[in-house]
Amino acid sequence: MSLTQLIFRHLAAVLLGAAACTVGAQECRGEPGRLRVTTVARGLENPWALAFLSDGRMLVTERPGRMRVIARDGTLGAPLANLPAVFAQGQGGLLDVVLDRDFATSRVLYFTFSESGDGGAGTSVARARLGAGSLEEVKVIFRQQPKVRGGLHFGSRIVQARDGHLWVALGERGQRDRAQDLGVHLGKVVRIRADGGVPADNPFVGRPGALAEIWSYGHRNIQGAILHPLTGALWTVEHGARGGDEINQPESGRNYGWPVITHGRDYSGLPIGEGAAKAGMEQPVHYWDPSIAPSGMAYYDASAIPGWKGSLLVGSLKFGLLARLQLEGTRVVREERLLQGLGDRVRDVRVGPDGLVYLLTDSADGRVLRVESAR
């Protein structure tokens, strides 16, 4: 696809979905009908990620370094014990949490957090078992290298593939040129086994000067990721600078361009890199310009909200809204912007076992919101 075709497709998707949905007291209008937004829980300090337990309770992380269980009635549990020390500065802190595919029997979960050490801080991945009021058998199974100073661009999301391996999305820590360096983990998606080992079929295994954990590179700051339920492929959403937020489908060994190519500009207004396209570098599935500052992402494969099945749902930190992207295969053909009156940054987006959509709002009094059809 040519760059001209890509730009036309992007503009068409945005313009076709220009109709907005603004929150009133409890309801708002979207396509194809009205939506109801309900506060399920509140009083969370900068919540970052949400996971659903099989009994209807929720597990939530708070960026300052707490993980809690939320009861079905919205009551917040006490912080779980035995979390490792968290570097909670700038954008760093306790980040994503996901349940192992065999959680019902194993009680195993994985979480990402920023960890300090020699040279500064970086994103780490830990594995643990959920006990009664605490995490048990906590073990750090991956550490981003090198650790660097500053509080920018930790990422980070975890996705478990169908084979049980973990994809972990890592920010470039504000060191943009190192996203192209295969000798560091900055600005990469890595792929590891559930015990932290390296899968033998990773693309750079055995390549001199390259880290064996790397799956794809040239990323800026991924803060949303999913496993596509129909194809089993990894999809990610990452922050651009001033424009250039991207949805990608990272494939083994591919280069996604940052900072050599981008559809955005620097915050100063100056261009970044060499333009919007270059041979050997991948184009995004979709991009935003201007930026919406995307965070959590979910694929809606339920039927509780009519007309949404097969959509990508992406939260916006900048505008405090939910973007619904209609797909045809791997193409985004329409965008609808919803819930523009929330007044809070949308940090995470999850589809619950009831088929409804749940959002985390990022503030000192963060909430869990439930979105459902009001028909």
Q: Which residues are catalytic?
A: 153
- The string over 323-360, giving b where at least 16 C-beta atoms fall within 10 Å of a residue's C-beta and e elsewhere, is bbbbbeeeebebbbbbbbebebbbbbbbbbeebbbbbb
107, 274, 316 from 85: Cα distances, Å = 22, 40, 29
Q: What angle (nearest 5°) sits at the alpha carbon of residue 261, between those of residues 256 and 265? A: 125
Q: What is the largest CA-CA distance in the chain?
A: 59
Q: Residue 333 in 3-state DSSP?
A: strand
Chain centroid to Cα 216, Å, comes to 16
Cβ contacts of residue 299 below 8 Å, gap of 6+?
226, 228, 229, 235, 311, 312, 313, 351
Q: Bridge partners of 67?
A: 61
Question: How many beta carbons lie within 10 A of that of residue 167, not counting itself?
Answer: 21
What would the two tokens of residue 374 be?
């009001």
CA distance 326 to 319: 20
DSSP string across 67-96: EEEEPTTSPBPPPPB-PPP---STT-SEEE
CA distance 96 to 124: 11
CA distance 94 to 115: 9
